Amino acid sequence: MTAELHEELTDPNADQLDHGAASSRPLKSRISEPQPRGAKVHGNRPIDQSEAANRFIAATEHEAMHDARLWDLRQKRDKEMHGIEEWEELRDLASGIKEHTLSKLDYYLELFEKNATANGIKVHWAKDGAEHNAIVLDILRKKGVERLIKSKSMLTEECGFRHFMAENNVEVIETDLGERIQQLDDEAPSHVVVPAVHKLRTDVAGVFAKTIGSDPDNADAHYLTECQREATRPLILSAQAGMTGGNFVVAETGTFVVCTNEGNADLSANTPSLHIASIGIEKLIPGLDDLAVFVRLLSRSALGSPITQYTSHFRGPREGGEMHVVLVDNGRSERLGMEKFWRGLKCIRCGACMNTCPVFRRSGGLSYGATYAGPIGLIIDPTFNVHKYRNLPYSSTLNGSCTNVCPVKINIHEQIADWRKTLAGEGEISPVKKVMMKAAGEVLASPVVYRASLPLGRSALRHLPHFMLYNKLNTWGRKRDIPETPKQTFNEWYRKNRKQQAEGGKS
């Protein structure tokens, strides 16, 4: 199989072109290293994100590539931002439009339904993932579909769609390269925009060698991409149905919009005569004026490219074709009623918060053990399963970078802090944290007890104060030196050197 390459790309010294999801400078892993796998999932037990993160960090080649790649996307995003004078105004508009739409969501959903139906689209409603899967299966069965091609959709991940279809003997072919890699490796996507970003080229070569028969020793990205194009095309041409997600749904025109870089949504939608789109109910926006704001922000925020290579608008079936839209709730209407957390519904899944998150970049998306990883995951995963995902809001330093890159201005880091409060309030907090904080609260409430707890003057006991060490694991000292304790505290110095004031300052 020979790779047929675009001329610019055959020259290894040429500059990287600055679009698609491309990195702005060449990154290349140096050695092959076994791929660290994601979080260990044990039924409903709380996910231990830091355990998986530590394994990712230990795979130094993977961690370094992942961090550099996503940081580069963040910098490309910054560059785009500086090119657009009205950037912050666009973010305000995007946030305002989403909040407006969510405040009248029932109205806009019905408006969309009316307009889409008038144009020949069949609109379905699913309250959860199971109903979504059943609706789609029913449509496919009626048409005798055995093979379905689909483009990337986080919603179908939420619904466990692929596994359901496999059980029901429908072959599902992912057509996005990253998603296809993940499908062939039987792994979930690790990032909402770049699903295989945690893999090195050698990992991909290994997966393709096993599944589509590529040369196991050839880890060239061009070669591997060409292999999947060649392997997938016949499947695309013979599929009887195509499936896409939807990035935006325009109520006033009955249009849904799908953004891709590969053109795989267009392929999936237009090649077979049956097109099914699965769309979350929060994707609604009122009109075309509003759409412009989001199309301008999406790819710039996600990848630092001005627009995705393909922005596709579907308003009705083509001649002789059939088009279905399945509107899926799956917990969204309930989230709307959560005073502190409904704003998460504004999310347009651009992934900018993941790219900027210092914890995500060092942990890999699979460490979160949930459909949504990174900052946005921390604030929506607990709405799906509060017990299983109760530790995730702690996988953050609350640094707030996410909030400030978010194109729809979701107060992500405040919500992470609010989740901690909510979880602790509901008793969904690990016993170690609970015991430690209870003790800390008591010690710090009393100046006398507090002073007595300090490791003063006893240089042999150079450790953190007891309230930081209540758990038996002194994790501080594993990779960091512990600060030396000086001869006297500030408090002691003050009592000695500012005697008079010390008397006056007593409460």
Partner 1 sequence: MKVGLFVPCYVDMFHPETGIATLELLERFGLSVEYPVDQTCCGQPMTNTGCEREAAKTEELFVRNFEKYDYIVTPSGSCTNQVRHNMTAIEESDAVKHVRSRTYELVEFLHDVLKVDAFPWAEFPHRVALHNNCNTLRNLRIASMTERREEPFSKPKALLKMVKGIEFADLTRPDECCGFGGTFSVFEEGVSAKMGQDKVTDQLKSGAEYVTSSDSSCMMHQEGCARRMGANLKYIHIAQILNGARA
Partner 2 sequence: MSGSREAILEAIRKNHIQGDRARPNVPLFDQAAPADLKELFQKSLERMGGKLLTPDAADPMAPVRQAIVKAGPVLSCVPEFEGDMKVTPQTKPTDIALVEYAVLRAAFGVAETGSLCFTEKQLLVNTTGFLPQHLIILLDPAQIVYNLHNAYQRPEWTQAHYAVFQSGPSATADIEGVLVHGAQGVRSLSVLFHPAS
Task: Point out which residues bind ligand SF4 (CB under 6 A).
Answer: 347-353, 376, 405-408, 410, 412
Closest among 304, 265, 298, 285 to 407, alpha carbons compared? 298
CA distances from 180 to 150, 153, 196, 204 (A): 10, 12, 9, 10
Q: Does 395 bind partner 1 (CB under 8 A)?
A: yes
CA distances from 356 to 74, 347, 377, 402, 503 (A): 6, 16, 14, 6, 49
Binding partner selected for residue 281 from partner 1, ligand SF4, partner 2, none, CB under the kind-specific 5 to 8 Å limit: partner 2
Count of residues that bind partner 1 according to CB under 8 A: 87
CA distances from 491 to 68, 133, 246, 469 (A): 44, 65, 60, 22
Q: Does 225 bind partner 2 (CB under 8 A)?
A: yes
Closer CB to ligand SF4, 97 or 412, in the complex? 412
Triad 332, 335, 340: Cα angle to 5°: 150
Q: Could you say which of 23, 117, 218, 430 contacts partner 2 (CB under 8 A)? A: 23
Give least dist CB 353 to ligand SF4, A. Answer: 3
Closer CB to ligand SF4, 57 or 406, in the complex? 406
Closer CB to partner 1, 1 or 417, in the complex? 417
Closer CB to partner 2, 166 or 237, in the complex? 237
Site for partner 1 in 29-58 (CB under 8 A): 49-50, 53-54, 57
Q: For partner 2, which stretch binds (CB under 8 A), given 228-236, 435-443, 480-488, 497-505?
A: 228-236
427, burial (CB in 10 Å: exposed 0-12, middle 13-18, buried 19+): exposed
- Secondary structure of residue 323 in the 3-state scheme: strand
Closer CB to partner 1, 8 or 86, in the complex? 86
Q: Could you say which of 333, 404, 411, 430 contacts partner 2 (CB under 8 A)? A: 333
User: Is residue 70 within 8 Å of residue 245, measured between CB atoms?
Assistant: no
Query: Which runs of consecutive H residues, i.e. helices, occur in 304-411?
Result: 332-336, 352-356, 358-363, 374-384, 401-405
Binding partner selected for residue 172 from partner 1, partner 2, ligand SF4, none, CB under the kind-specific 5 to 8 Å limit: none
Q: Does 374 bind partner 2 (CB under 8 A)?
A: no
Q: How many other CB atoms are found less than 10 A from the CB of residue 99?
A: 15
Phi, psi dihedrals of residue 294, rounded to the nearest 5°:
-75, -40
| Residues in CB range of 152: below 8 A, 6 or more apart | 174, 176, 178, 179, 189, 195, 245, 260, 264
What angle do helix axes 177-184 and 221-238 make, rounded to 10 degrees? 90
Site for partner 2 in 26-55 (CB under 8 A): 26-29
Give least dist CB 503 to partner 1, A. Answer: 9
- Secondary structure of residue 325 in the 3-state scheme: strand
10, burial (CB in 10 Å: exposed 0-12, middle 13-18, buried 19+): exposed
Give least dist CB 40 to partner 1, A. Answer: 15
User: Is residue 434 within 8 Å of residue 425, measured between CB atoms?
Assistant: no
Q: Could you say which of 358, 384, 385, 411 contacts partner 1 (CB under 8 A)? A: 358
Closer CB to partner 1, 118 or 444, in the complex? 444
| Residues in CB range of 167: below 8 A, 6 or more apart | none
Q: What track of x and - describes contact with partner 1 for positions 476 through 505 (by CB under 8 A)?
A: x-xxxxxxxxx-xxxxxxxx--x--xx-xx
Q: Could you say which of 264, 371, 401, 485 contacts partner 2 (CB under 8 A)? A: 264
Closest among 201, 229, 215 to 23, alpha carbons compared? 201
70, burial (CB in 10 Å: exposed 0-12, middle 13-18, buried 19+): buried
Give least dist CB 442 to partner 2, A. Answer: 38
Give least dist CB 395 to partner 1, A. Answer: 6
Q: Does 310 bind partner 1 (CB under 8 A)?
A: no
Q: Could you say which of 156, 255, 395, 396 contacts partner 2 (CB under 8 A)? A: 255
Site for partner 1 in 61-100 (CB under 8 A): 63, 67, 71, 78, 81-82, 84, 87-88
- Cα separation, 267 vs 241, in Å, equals 11
Q: Could you say which of 37, 147, 222, 495 contacts partner 2 (CB under 8 A)? A: 222
Q: What track of x and - describes contact with partner 2 for positions 273 through 312 (by CB under 8 A)?
A: x-------x----x-xxxxxx-xx--------xxxxxxxx
Q: Does 22 bind partner 2 (CB under 8 A)?
A: yes
Closer CB to partner 2, 24 or 489, in the complex? 24
Q: Does 403 bind partner 1 (CB under 8 A)?
A: yes
Binding partner selected for residue 291 from partner 1, partner 2, ligand SF4, none, CB under the kind-specific 5 to 8 Å limit: partner 2
- Cα separation, 326 vs 329, in Å, equals 10
Query: Which runs of consecutive H residues, i.e. helices, occur in 145-220?
Result: 154-158, 161-167, 177-184, 201-211
Q: Does 17 bind partner 2 (CB under 8 A)?
A: yes
Triad 105, 110, 111: Cα angle to 5°: 95
Name the token pair of 404.
């400030």
Q: Does 157 bind partner 2 (CB under 8 A)?
A: no
Q: For partner 2, which stretch binds (CB under 8 A), given 266-274, 371-379, 414-422, 499-507?
A: 266-274
